[in-house]
Amino acid sequence: MQEDKNKVETVLFTIGRFIELEELGKLCGMGSIGYLKDVLQELKKDYDVRSSALEIVEQGERWKLNIKRNYLYLTENLLTDSELDRPTQETLAIIAYKNPVSQSEIIKIRGNGAYDHVKLLKEFGFIVSEPMGRTRILKLTTKFYDYFDVVENQLRSKIQTIFGSEVNTNTNDSSTQTQNQE
C-alpha cells in the first residue's frame, strides 16, 4: 500500500487542485475506486499525525493536497511573483468580487488595459465570457475556485484582505478606478 500512497501523493502534489476519484485512479493506475478511497484515507491519516504544513483535503468525491490554513499567510506574498501581474490580479479581484459582471463595467472601472487582462484571464481559464447584448458577461470558473482555494461566500472578505482599500469595487459609481490603474 505504501507504493500506492506514494503514487497518489505524487499526483496530488503535481496537480495542485481538487481532483475527482475517477481521474485520480486513472492517473495512478488504480482501477478500484474503493481501494483508492482506502489509500487516500490512509494518506490523510499520515498527514494528520505528521507535524507538517500540508494536509489532504476531501471535498465530497474530490481530493487535494493543500497547505494548512495556519500557513497560508506565507503564500499570500507569493501572489506578486505569480504569472499574473498586479494590474491583472486587480482586474481578476474585481471580477471575482462582482461575479458575474459585464465586461463593459470592468472596462469602465479598470480602463482599456482591462481588455488585455480579460484575454489573459480567459487563457488561464479563471474566467469565461458569454455574449449579452453589446457586451459580454464575465464569470468565474471552477478552476478559479480550485486554484485560489476559496468558496464563493468567503471570496469578498479574502479579496479585501489581500488588496485592502486599493481595489475600489463600488457598484454604484461607474467612474470608480483602482489606485494602480494602468
Q: Dump pLDDT digits (tens) for 120-136.
A: 999 888 999 999 999 99
pLDDT digits (tens, 9 = 90+) for 124-170: 889 999 999 999 999 998 888 877 777 655 665 666 665 554 444 44
Fold of 75-166: Arc Repressor Mutant, subunit A (1.10.10)
The Cα–Cα gap between 14 and 106 comes to 34
Q: Where are the alpha helices (DSSP H) in the chain?
A: 2-15, 21-28, 33-49, 73-76, 86-98, 103-110, 114-124, 142-148, 155-163
Angle 77-19-7 from CA coordinates, rounded to 5°: 95
Please check whether the two domains, 2-71 and 75-166, share a CATH topology: yes
Residue 12 CB coordination number (10 Å): 24
Alpha-carbon span 108 to 114, nearest angstrom? 9
Q: Quick one: pLDDT band at residue 16, thresholds 50, 70, 90? A: confident
Q: What is the CATH number of domain 2-71?
A: 1.10.10.10
What are the residue boundaries of the structural domains of the chain, listed by start?
Answer: 2-71, 75-166
